[in-house]
Each structure stands twice: as C-alpha cells, then as structure tokens.
Copies of this chain bind each other. A is one copy, B any other.
Amino acid sequence: MDQLKPKPANSVPLTPLSLLERAATIYGECPSIVYKATTYTWSHTHDRCLRIASSLATLGIRHGDVVSVIAPNIPAAYELHFAAPMSGAVLNNINIRLDPRTISILLRHSESKLLFVYHQLSPLVLQAMSLLPPHHPRPLLVLVTDNEYDYDHFTPNSEEFHTTYENMVRNGDPEFQWIRPKSEWDPIVLNYTSGTTSSPKGVVHCHRGSFITTMDALVDWSVPKNPVYLWTLPMFHSNGWGFTWGMAAVGGANICLKKFDGATIHAAIRAHQVTHMCAAPIVLNMLTTLTSDPGPLSWPVHILTGGSPPPAPVLLRAESLGFVVGHGYGLTETGGVIISCAWKPHWNQFPALERARLRARQGVRTLGLTQIDILNPITGQPVSRDGKTVGEIVLRGGCIMLGYLKDPEGTSKCMGNDGWFKTGDLGVMHKDGYLEIKDRSKDIIISGGENISSVEVENVLYTFPALNEVAVVAKPDDYWGETPCAFVSLRKGLKEKPTERDVIEHCRAKMPHYMVPKKVVFKDELPKTSTGKIQKYLLREVAKTLSSIGNANTATTTATASLASRL
C-alpha cells in the first residue's frame, strides 16, 4: 500500500479554470452573461477569456503577476475571473467603494502590473495613481466599458490608458494555450479585506482552495443545471462567494446589474426568470420594502444571504413574495460561505418565536470545510455544547486562504501550528451542533453588505485633535443592517467644542463614505473595565436604544445615492 504515491495523472492541480472549456462544450449555445442589450453564450465567454488571457501574456503578464480590476458587476468583471488567471496572473478585484487613498495603498501593496478600469471610475483611479510615490512602478491601465458596442461611442479623455478591454479581446488569440497552474497551491486571487490602515490585509487564495469553494457552494446550495443567477452581490466580494466560477460548472446564465434598487431587481427577476441570487441583507430589505407591490413570483427564487441572519419580519415578507431564503457565514479568508443554516423541514412546525431563534443561528459547516470548533481562548479546549459558553470559532479545511500577502506575522497569528484557522469571531455551540455567532472579536460592523473594521474608524477619529477617547460600535439599522456609531469624549479645556457634524466631516475626508459613523455620541468619559479597557458591550447596548425615527426613508435615499454615486 505504502508504495502507491501520487502520479502526474491523478495529482494534476485542482483549479476552477478547467470548468470553462467544459462549459463551452456542454453549454456552448446557452447564455453565459446577460447585460443590457448584450447576451453572450458559453462559447463566446470561452473564446473571449482565451483572447484576454493571450493579450495579457502579450502585454508581458507572467506567472504570479497581480492583475487588478475595478468595476461593477459587468461582463468584463465576470470574464476576468477566468481570463486573468488563465494568463498565469493573480486576479485582484478592487472594491469600487474605496477612496483614492485606499486604492493607492492597495496598488502599492499588491504591486499590481495592470489595472482594468471601468470608465466611470477613471477619475477615482487617476486620483489614486497620483497618490502613488513618485518612483513606484505604475500599473498599465486598461479601459473597460459596459460592453463591446460602447467603445465606438466612447473616447477616453486621457492618455493614461494603454488600451481598451475590447481591443484586447479583438487582438487576442482564441487558440491560446492557457497557463495551467504548476501547483494547485499557486495563487489565483488576491482579495483585500479592508485597506484604510497602513497594513491592508491581502487575502490570497490558491487554485485548489477556489476549486473546493466552488464545488462546496454548488452542493451546499443544491444548485441545479442551467440556473439563472442574478448578480447583486458584488463580484469583488470574495469573488462572488465562488459563484463566478460556479456558474461555469453548471452552465448558469449570469445576469449582470451595474446598479440597482428594489424595483430594478424585481424587474430583472421577472425579465430573465431568475432562479438564484446571492445578496447582502440590505438587498433583502430593498426587495421587501417597495412602495409598489410587485406581486408574488410564480416560481421559487433562491436567495443566499450572508453576514447577520435576516430579521424575522424581513424573512416573512420575502417568503410571502416567493423567495426561498438561506443564510450563511463566511470570511474573505474562507473564500465563500462555510457555515450555513441548514434548515430542517420539521422546524417549520415550531412556533414563530422558536423558528426565529433557530434561524438566528449561523448553522453548520458546509461540505468543503473539514472541521469546525469553538475553543476556549485561554485553554484552547473546545467549549461545552450548551449554547451559552462563548469561545473563538476555529476552522480547518481546503477552502481556507493560503495566507495574507506580505504579512507572515498576521498569517501565522491566525493559522498557527495547532492546525486551526482562527476567525477572531466569538460564538457558542448549541447542543444540536449548530453554531451561533455572539460577537466579533475583530469588531466588524456590517453595513449594507460591507465589512467595516471599528478599529480603522477609530484610528481616523483619533486624528481629530479635539477628541480624547473614541470607541466605534455597530448600531442596528433597519435598512443597512448596522451602521457605525461613534462614542467620543473631548479633551479637557477646549475653547471651542466640535459638533457631531464636524466629526463626521472630518471622517468623510479621510475614509470611504460607507465607513463614516452615522451617529456621534459625546460622553464625559467612556465606560472602562478595571484594567482600563473600554467596555464596548455597554456602548452597544446604548447604541441600540438611540433613536432611529425617520431613518428608514433617509436611508433609502442615501442607499440609492451611495450605490449609484460613482456609476
């Protein structure tokens, strides 16, 4: 037995890229991407990806080079999930909501060689480029528009762009022999979790991990063949939780929306007969708080939502409209959803309160994760399965990231020799093996589907000279899910006391808008433990009680404005 070793025929690297050619063979005539007036088939997508990959190679992109893209959910963003790594590159998807300073930090940290820029984001990117240090190598800029027909009407007003995406398609070679990974541990994507501090976390996933995430996502959600998948989840969020590659595996149609509100999504669902969509909790809110009643759907639309479990009223409204809602938990570090609230049919017979209690739990590990546990942070031993004892959630499995780019210390801190990946999130294990998150030790606030590190917001607040102490916590919000709420105390002896507006203006100048505290509370002193640590759990309780009258409407307006602001 021991003499049987891996051989080239069975140890060929696992990679989601191998799914594309297969999709072109089986689903060649089926729609792959639908966007505005454009419909591509899987034959087109295969052809276009090979052409882009070959053009990247022609431009000098080599194995392991970082290629970035900053774009909303348009065809090019989808295609690059295959095309960029098919050239041997590592794809780096940049969040379009970041500010120029953060983008420049990411470009510098990733040493990106080439950046695909959506035309409406070019002012943002050019500003980011201007913030790069003088002698830092510049990435080549490639202009991307909505689709191939747009380019004729579009004259870039800048010489900064080397070429356009469609030129790369046109000049590319559809017979290109794409660069297969040498090892399944070769990086395939680089996703930044956040970036306003001086040490951004660049999560690197490998081909093997992304393949496992893809298969896992499909089996855990029971995705059938030829689904119609609506993109509201940004592809730059963990590569759409693996469903970018996943749609090639099952021959799905990717319905792309650049920007949307509830009415747009309802219209798209009906126009394309959408069957599946992933969505931040805020999108569920949009779908269920329309001013005009869209009427019930005549077929089930499956929605997978992440972050916090949807509140019971939202869930009920969504289900009454014909949505089948699942929810899960994942981190950028895990590639996609790795804990999902697998619902048991007999739970439907329980009273509403009990159902809500069960639904509030994140759930059980998906198939791609090998082990999960909750450990006592001091002893390192599993906590008892009593639904009460809090410990740190730890994971082990093939979908866990390779590590943080250029951060061996950060990597070994969360992936040490004990073989666990430490999430930093706190939770309890219920008697039945279902897990529930109780607190995030990393102090993450999830607002409108974006993760906000409270520490990062605090760092910016501390640059406001009048402030003495600051603490940022999540404030529950009917629309956004959560918003950052700042508690601050002022320095002694100030001549002029700043207003809430002053503090907010200060933040808006220094960070992406979605991270700015929506509320600033002035205190004489912040509550602290005997060892001087700010008692955030007390502040969270206060934040919950703060008035949110009139917020819903304001929020709706802000949401639409914010999502649309750059597009």
Task: Indicate with 1 or 0, residue by residue over A379-420, a CB within 8 angstroms of chain B CB atoms.
Answer: 000000000000000011111111101001001000101111
Contacts of A28 in B (CB 8 A): 432
Roughly how many angstroms separate A8 CA and B412 CA in the complex, as a whole number?
A: 11
In the docked arrangement, what's the CA distance between A13 and B397, Å? 8
Q: Mark A186-225, 1 if CB is under 8 A from B, else 0.
A: 0100000000000000001010010010011011001111
A18–B371 contact, CB under 8 A?
yes
**Interface hub of A7, A14, A249, A432 (most chain B Cβ within 10 A):** A7
Contact: A419 with B219, CB < 8 Å?
A: no
Q: Among the listed B342, B344, B400, B405, which residue makes an inter-chain contact with A29, where contact means beta carbons less than 8 Å apart?
A: B344
Among the interface residues A22, A250, A399, A400, which one has the most CB atoms of the partner chain B within 10 A?
A22
Per a CB cutoff under 8 Å, which of B4, B187, B225, B433 touches A4? B187
A242 to chain B, nearest CB (A): 13
- CB-based nearest B residue for A340: B26
Given the interface contacts A2-B64, A432-B25, does A12 sit within 8 Å of B371 by beta carbon?
A: yes
Tell me whether A323 is interfacial, beta carbon within 8 Å: no
* Identical copies of this chain, number: 2
Q: Does A378 contact B (CB under 8 A)?
A: no
Q: Contacting chain B: which of A253-261, A362-370, A482-490?
A: A362-370
Q: Residue A37 at the B interface, CB < 8 A?
A: no
B250 and A370 form a contact (CB under 8 A): no
User: What residue of chain B has the Cβ atom nearest to residue A334's Cβ?
Assistant: B10
- A139 and B224 alpha carbons, distance in the complex (Å): 45
Q: Is the CB of B12 within 8 A of A185?
A: no
In the assembly, what is the distance between CA of A365 and CA of B23, in Å?
10
Which residue of chain B lies nearest to A366 when distances are taken between CB atoms in the complex?
B22
Which residues in B have their C-beta under 8 angstroms from that of A18? 370-371
* A367 B19 Cβ-Cβ under 8 A: yes
Instruction: Give the CA-CA distance A219 to B28 in the complex, in Å.
Output: 19
A18, A187, A364, most chain B CB atoms within 10 A: A18
A–B complex contacts, Cβ < 8 Å, 9 sampled: A1-B90, A4-B206, A6-B402, A10-B397, A10-B399, A18-B371, A22-B364, A219-B249, A222-B223
| New contact pairs (4) apart from A4-B403, A26-B342, CB-CB < 8 Å | A1-B405, A4-B185, A7-B403, A10-B421
